[in-house]
Amino acid sequence: MKILLTGPTGFIGSAFTRLALNRGHLVGGLIIPTEQAPTALPANPNLVWLRGTLEQPPWSAIDTFKPDACVHTAWITTPEIYLESPENERFRDASLQFLLKLADSGVQYVLGLGTCIEYQIGEKPLAEDFTPIAPTTAYARCKNELRLALEAEAKPRQFGLCWGRVFYPYGPGEHPARLCSAITQKLLRGDTITLKTPKSTKDYIYIDDLVTALLTVVEKKFLGTLNLATGHGTTVLDIASTLSSLVGRPELIQQTTEPEKDPFPFVVADASRLKSLGWQSAISVDEGLRRLVAVHKK
């Protein structure tokens, strides 16, 4: 299959590229003209770099590549910034224009990445058909608005659409400010860590498991909404305790006497729909954290 990938140099995009190439697919990566091709993705005859942006795509090169499908991962994801950044609106508008033009040019399938926080967060696992949609951040709102616009155009323009809601990916290559890497780095420096929301529970999915799920979805051309998650919750305290044991510094983990309120205290998926496609998580949280620590120790 020929897959056009946006965001190929990002955390998810680069891992997806490696897996897709290993499975024999052809990948056309949309890369910013001024950006260097990542050294982590060595030259491969099945990998083509398409120089351009969502706003100014290289349509001639894309037409030459002739993609069968598009996996859209490009978006702003910088920790501490992305949730309320005005860049979310730019990505929403540019993504819609780009993806609809792709569909008009003959691309038959689109997999767009949404977010788990499009849902109304409560105390139960989040299910595609039952949990209400109630985004409370600019990031989630713009993602959801893109989904709605694409769903409205999919049938008239005759392209298949899957909207995959990503939960909490982690692993080597993630932004250093993300929870797991941030805690790991502090522990390795010998810094004391005070957990502000120790009971906060999230559905953490190891990056390799996530991209395996993505490729499974594309290969099967699944249509509709889909949770990209394991179906299991892990607390911040569990993450920190596991990492501190792996590093050998459990005494560095402390809990505050007055925990902060987490606006998303329980974000765990009902992953039965994804598992019905034959996907299963292969990397436990303990094993994923062990791999992450090993990389940071190098």
Whole-number average pLDDT of the chain: 96
pLDDT digit string, tens, across residues 157-204: 999 999 999 999 999 999 999 999 999 999 999 999 999 999 999 999
Q: SS3 of 250, please?
A: helix
Cα angle value 22/24/28 (rounded, 5°): 95
Judged against a pLDDT cut of 80, whether residue 113 lies above it is answered with yes
Residue 243's pLDDT is: 98
CATH of domain 2-169+204-228: 3.40.50.720
**Where would I find the H helices in 37-137?**
59-65, 87-104
Q: What percent of the chain has pLDDT over 70?
A: 100
Judged against a pLDDT cut of 80, whether residue 107 lies above it is answered with yes
Residue 256's pLDDT is: 85
Predicted confidence band of residue 110 (pLDDT cuts 50, 70, 90): very high
Judged against a pLDDT cut of 80, whether residue 42 lies above it is answered with no
φ/ψ (deg, to 5) at 48:
-120, 130
3-state SS record for 156-187: HHCCEEEEEEECEEECCCCCCCCHHHHHHHHH
Residue 266 CA to residue 259 CA, distance in Å, equals: 15
Q: Which residue is it, tokens 């792996």?
A: 246
Residue 191 CA to residue 182 CA, distance in Å, equals: 11
Cα angle value 284/285/286 (rounded, 5°): 90
Residue 174's pLDDT is: 96
Specify the range with the lowest mean pLDDT, choosing from 56-65, 176-185, 204-213, 250-259. 250-259
Q: Rounded mean pLDDT of 250-273?
A: 94
Residue 71's pLDDT is: 98
CA-to-CA separations, 39 to 9, 35, 82, in angstroms, rounded: 10, 12, 26
Residue 278's pLDDT is: 97
Residue 7's pLDDT is: 96
Domain ranges of the chain: 2-169+204-228, 171-202+232-297
Residue 35's pLDDT is: 86
In 10 A of CB 276, how many CB atoms?
A: 10
Q: Rounded mean pLDDT of 124-147?
A: 98
CATH of domain 171-202+232-297: 3.90.25.10
Q: Which residue is it, tokens 């997999």?
A: 111
